[in-house]
Amino acid sequence: MSDLETTQDSITITRPDDWHLHLRDGATLASVLPHSARQFGRAIVMPNLKPPVTTTAAAEAYRSRILAALPEGMSFDPLMTLYLTNNTAPDEIRRAQDSGIVHAVKLYPAGATTNSDAGVTDLSNCYKTLEVMQEVGMPFLVHGEVTDPEIDLFDREAVFIERVMRPLRRDFPALNIVFEHITTKHAAQYVAEAEGPIAATITAHHLLYNRNDIFKGGIRPHYYCLPVLKREEHRLALVTAATSGDERFFLGTDSAPHAQGAKEAACGCAGCYTALHAMELYAEAFERAGALDKLEAFASFNGPAFYGLPRNTGTITLKREQWTLPQTLPLADQQVVPLNAGETINWKMV
């Protein structure tokens, strides 16, 4: 068959969800929320605000602010999370579970990423709390990087598996764990082969780019995120995992807005903004792998199955149509530079 005959010009799938999203707060929240709500039915909303969302009461208040910021006529269901600290009480987990609006608890190793200063210094501080999470079935979402400065930045995820993930899963074999935004063949292989309830989210940018893209002709801060982009062999392993049909892998954009000035700086913030065009980027990645037929499971089925939620009912359609990303988008009283700013991409959500 010729290329022409095998080329698909549109794809309609069950409305997808974003299982890892940063919406921020206040005027920034109002700027970014419509982008995610246009593409996704629900999102797991990250709790790394300043101050972090550490209690059920704070999660309920944050959820109300999100719903208040949602433009009329749009529907979107924010699935809230709690930020685990050294001092999160076991009772807080029971409150979270009873609330019905908190769907997971998030581990930020202290110092690992944006707004992680209040994070956990040693998981042994949290064992009583983890016991309750395991007992009530509250998922544990993990930013999987060690923070040991002796460990090379590019090895921090692989070392995390050995130093933290394996002991954690040995001690809590029934705890539902999501290895968030995986970036290495080590993590992909670990998740695919591990016994028990574990899954992983994969971003669009880690499917499309490798670490060369951060340094192409100069330093490109908009390709800097954490965990940092890795070598091509790792990107290929992530594409294989995402397109394998294995239900342990599902979509999480990790869209993480930072103002332009905070990214294009002497010490620039980590995070890529993809909320505007995430599904288009995933479609591109799946098409390049010849696996557009696997996109729906990854984007719309595997996540709800893991979280014990129903699939969305509507559909979205992506068409093969070239369009050019804007250079910037409004972000509160500043601007955010989307990933692929000014570039032409091949898919467009209708």
Residues with catalytic function: 254
Q: Which amino acid is at 162?
A: E
Pairwise CA distance, residues 255 & 300, whole Å = 17
Q: Identity (one letter) of the amino acid at 191?
A: V
In angstroms, give the least distance from the CB of 286 to ligand NCD: 22
Which tokens belong to 137? 């079935």
Report, in Å, the least distance between residue 114 CB and ligand NCD. 3
> Smallest gap, in angstroms, from Cβ of residue 143 to ligand NCD?
5
Tell me which of 28, 114, 134, 312 binds ligand NCD, using CB under 6 A.
114
3-state DSSP percent of the chain in helix, strand and coil, to 5: 40, 20, 40
Site mask for Zn ion (CB under 5 A), range 248-277, x = bound: ------x-----------------------
Dihedral sign, CA of 216, 253, 256, 261? positive
Q: How far is the CB of 44 from Zn ion (least distance, A)?
A: 10
Considering beta carbons, is residue 134 or 260 the nearer one to ligand NCD? 260
Residue 226 interacting with ligand NCD (CB under 6 A) = yes
Query: Which member of 41, 271, 303, 304 binds ligand NCD (CB under 6 A)?
Result: 271
Which of these segments, 30-38, 78-86, 148-156, 247-255, binds Zn ion (CB under 5 A)? 247-255
Stretch that binds Zn ion, among 81-89, 119-127, 141-149, 153-161 (CB under 5 A): 141-149
How would DSSP label each residue in 192-205? HH--SSEEEEE-HH
Question: CA 146 to CA 110: how far, in whole Å?
Answer: 9
- By CB under 6 A, tell whether 143 contacts ligand NCD: yes
CA distance 132 to 137: 8
3-state SS class at 261: helix
Binding site, by residue number, is 20, 22-24, 48, 106, 143, 181, 226, 254, 258, 270
What are the backbone angles phi and psi of residue 205, rounded to the nearest 5°?
-70, -30
Encode burial over 136-154: b for 16+ CB neighbours within 10 A, e otherwise. Answer: eebbbbbbbbbbeeebeeb
Alpha carbon distance 320, 87 (integer Å): 50
Applying CB under 6 A, among 11, 22, 185, 325 the residue interacting with ligand NCD is 22
Between CA 128 and CA 140 the distance in angstroms is 14
Which residue lies nearer to Zn ion by CB, 157 or 254?
254
Out of 14, 36, 39, 113, the only residue in the binding site for ligand NCD (CB under 6 A) is 113
Could you list the residues known to form a binding site for substrate, using ranges: 22-24, 48, 143, 226, 258, 270
18: partner contacted, choices ligand NCD, Zn ion, none (Cβ within 5-8 A by kind)? none
Question: Using an 8 Å Cβ cutoff, are 228 and 211 in contact?
Answer: yes
Tell which one of 45, 59, 177, 256 touches ligand NCD (CB under 6 A).
256
Stretch that binds Zn ion, among 32-40, 113-121, 230-238, 288-296 (CB under 5 A): 113-121
Tell whether residue 31 is a contact of ligand NCD (CB under 6 A). no
What gap in Å lies between CA 202 and CA 214, rounded to an integer?
18
When binding is defined by CB under 5 A, the residue of 113, 183, 184, 255 that contacts Zn ion is: 113
Q: Does 176 bind ligand NCD (CB under 6 A)?
A: no
Q: Minimal CB distance to Zn ion: which residue?
A: 143
The Cα 131–Cα 133 span in angstroms is 5
Alpha-carbon span 8 to 135, nearest angstrom: 46
Binding residues for Zn(2+): 20, 22, 106, 143, 181, 254
Helix (H) or strand (E) holding 95: helix 90-99
Binding region for ligand NCD (CB under 6 A): 22, 48, 113-114, 143, 225-226, 254, 256, 270-271
Binding region for Zn ion (CB under 5 A): 113, 143, 254
